[in-house]
Chain A
Amino acid sequence: MKNAIKENTHHDLSLQKREQMKYKLKRFIFGSKDKEGVGKQIFVYILLIAIGFIYLYPVLYMISKSFMNLNDLLDSSINWIPSSFYTNNYVQAFKAMDYWKTLKDSVIMAGVPTLINLVVCALVGYGFARYDFKGKKLLMGLLIFSFILPPQATMMPTYVFYTEIGLVNSLKAFIVPALLGQGIKSQIYILIFFNFFRQIPQVLIEAAKIDGAGHLKSFFKIAVPSAAPAILVVFLFSIVWYWNESYLTQLYVVGAFTSNADIYHWSSLIVSLKNFESSYADARAVAGSGMVDINESIKMAGTMLSILPLLIMYLILQRRFVESVDRTGITGE
């Protein structure tokens, strides 16, 4: 009652105050031009967390499923958290994939072409960035064209060609194209290096020339040491893309369509994941009753195992990777 009277008497004042409060609250939530409001920030965080969850969902699902035993799988009341820490799936998948040997193969198969890629693409990118030769624009155009071209258009003749000169079923089928700057997505790496080397001031190289450095020397002594971010980015991309390439690996290196018992059989984790069911059945036939029937959990464990090395590498390198991407000038101008 008293309040009401008070409000009536100080009507104007309280209205003003209320308006002020309203304004303050509005500014607090929606923010002004200089400062972001709390409401807006909360909205951004919610959005980020929701999208982040969607991104992580398959991985979380994979991890949770891979630790479930058969009872947990069938039990509809268990959705996410397995009733016990059950690692047998991993043991089974480990056996089926012949993990250590396959891992070693995968590392070699992704690592060797990556190193070659680094050297060759850096050289080519430097050539494009530093020198002004005739037909440079045309050649750059062709470079981009060969990136747009789907590999299927050239796959069959390339396969025949490789067979003729005896590259198939060995690591050579990856090494030779990488040496010639035509590995998996090499064009992107060339462009990254091109963009990066273009930022190096010409004066620096000219100064080196006056001091008596040749073309190669100025490349190795000036361009390469300053290209650390570009090298990191190319290294990571290249290793990831070689690691994840399953079809070409199967076609060229593993030799899925030719059987020759004499030579060394390459296999990569991704390829063995692709053929997981059959390889699991094979392993089971050898091992006898020691292995259970294949189920989802074992498949998920296999998937997890095949991407685990990449995940670990990414977790170690990710901070420097993100920084490097900012600095490489991947984006051009």
Chain B
Amino acid sequence: MKQREKKVVVKTGKLKKRENMMGYLFILPWLIGFLLLVVYPICESFIYSLNTIKLLPQGMVKKFIGMGNYTQMFLKDPNFVIGLESYLLRTIISVPVIVAFALIIAMLLNGKIKCRGLFRMIFFLPVIIASGPVMNSLADQEAASIPMLNTTTISQVLSEYLPKVLATSITDVFGNMITLLWYSGIQILLFLAALQKIDTTLYEAAKIDGGSKWECFWKITLPTIKPMILLNVVYTIIFMSNNEQNELIVLIYDTMLSATGGYGYASAMAWCYSLIITLIVAAFALLIAGRKDVYERRAKKYMKEVKKQERLQKKIQRRGKRNEKRYQRKYAS
């Protein structure tokens, strides 16, 4: 779609340009908000992170200490590094689990089943009620883990084959199965909407050509919903990182109000944390968007072949001309 638009570039006239200025007017509120509530706080937060800040009755007292907060965070304070480590492990393991799970449920819901409305209602339910305090109070009651699932045996089996760090985090995943499943409400929604938009004629054509369901999934469904997978992964990472179950978030909140930490130290933590989240998002995005599927690879191969043929053709033509000249010279003399 976009490419087709690009080919027909019509130079916009003056009237059109003036009209397009109205666009700025429409997005003006957001633009002001962005400058005032995003750009300004980010800069301010960076300044905070270079200072120690004390809240006294007469107001805020800043003292510049350079990179002191950052060195303290990584070298002296064990909490942040430990929290970061467990956060990274958990995110890397649970994001694929959530996304894969959401895809499976969306595919099941997309098929021809009875009581579709009822099932959909159940699976979207967490979107409505999964919030911090509710989840916390459920976790307190141990209602957030499946009682039939025996995690100790799983961990025993796993720890025999895997290094301990991995084994414990995988056991964690099983232990918090319900929590993880509950986090996949929105993702199911997005996948379902994407699946319903796939052209059914594609499947029919594949069926006529003798493609099995398994092949259809890998060669039609997955490539079509690839952008949606990326979106879901990004959403999951952001959601996992920003909710109140997250230890690091709790740590930042606590530091902000504690006597030893203060705004400056908490700002430094928040800065590092957001940098790390951005890095994770970028890594996942590269991993998914960078991977080419079958068609892209084939198309690329085909283009390469065509170019090679063209080059060969030119070479032959050139050689022909050269030979022609040579013959002419030979017989002319």
Contacts and interface: CB of A to CB of B under 8 A. Distances in A.
A20 interface: no
Contact of A303 (B24, B134, B256): B134
Contact of B23 (A120, A128, A271, A303): A128
A244 to B, nearest CB: 3
Please report whether the interface of chain A is mostly helix, strand, loop or mixed according to DSSP.
helix
B107 to A, nearest CB: 10
Given A55-B123, A307-B134, A182 B21 contact: no
A243 to B, nearest CB: 8
**Most A Cβ at <10 Å: residue of B121, B128, B252:** B128
B21 A133 contact: yes
Contacts of B178: 54-55, 57-58
A319 interface: yes
B181 A51 contact: yes
A151 B134 contact: no
Given A51-B105, A54-B146, A59-B125, A153 B234 contact: no
Contacts of B109: 48
B117 interface: yes
Nearest to A257: B257
Interface string B9-38: 000100000011111111101111110111
A153 B263 CA distance: 11
B21 A180 contact: no
Please report whether the interface of chain B is mostly helix, strand, loop or mixed according to DSSP.
helix
A177 B128 CA distance: 23
Interface in A27-69: 33, 36, 41, 44-45, 47-48, 51-52, 54-59, 61-62, 65
Interface string A314-333: 11001101100110111111
B253 A247 contact: yes
B29 A123 contact: yes
Nearest to A215: B22
Contacts of A56: 122, 125
Given A123-B29, A126-B26, A325 B193 contact: yes
B119 A156 contact: no
B189 interface: yes
B41 A150 contact: no
Interface string B178-190: 1001100000011
Given A152-B249, A156-B256, A57 B143 contact: yes
A131 B20 contact: yes
A146 B113 contact: no
A180 B37 contact: yes
Nearest to B144: A58
Given A156-B263, A182-B38, A128 B124 contact: no
Contacts of B108: 44, 47-48
Interface stretch (B73-81, B238-246, B313-321): B238-246
A33 B212 CA distance: 8
A322 B120 contact: yes
A66 to B, nearest CB: 11
A45 B41 contact: no
Nearest 9 Cβ contacts at the A-B interface:
A127-B26, A131-B23, A180-B33, A244-B131, A181-B30, A154-B41, A157-B44, A182-B33, A133-B23
10 contacts: A36-B112, A51-B123, A51-B181, A126-B26, A147-B238, A180-B29, A181-B29, A244-B130, A303-B133, A318-B124
